[in-house]
């Protein structure tokens, strides 16, 4: 009687590999993002979205201090840069 454990193992292995790839890419992007947010802070532009210019939101900045885009622009950017 199969309960699909093997399929789950394969799926898990693929997920782990994808996760490792994603993590290394995310770390790269984070370093880039940190440099950019520091640059924006220097120019007094932190807190507003670099794409639409609207306030990013204190909550988002508290959770992710290096944010340079609002939630909407960030998800659009992530879609475009996947």
Q: Which residues bind Zn ion (CB under 5 A)?
A: 49, 51-52, 70, 73
Which is closer to Zn ion, CB of 46 or CB of 70? Answer: 70
Instruction: Report H helices in the chain.
Output: 5-42, 58-63, 71-80
Reference 68, options 24, 82, 54, 22; nearest CA is 54
State the minimum distance, in angstroms, from the CB of residue 61 to Zn ion: 13
Which is closer to Zn ion, CB of 17 or CB of 54? Answer: 54
Which is closer to Zn ion, CB of 46 or CB of 73? Answer: 73
């Amino acid at each position: 009687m199969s309960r699909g454990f093997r399929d789950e193992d394969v799926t898990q292995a693929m997920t782990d590999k994808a996760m490792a790839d994603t993590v290394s890419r995310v770390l790269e992007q984070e370093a880039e993002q940190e440099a950019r947010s520091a640059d924006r802070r220097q120019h007094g532009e932190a807190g507003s979205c670099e794409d639409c210019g609207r306030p990013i939101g204190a909550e988002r900045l508290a959770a992710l201090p290096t944010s340079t885009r609002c939630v909407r622009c960030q998800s659009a950017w992530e879609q475009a840069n996947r």
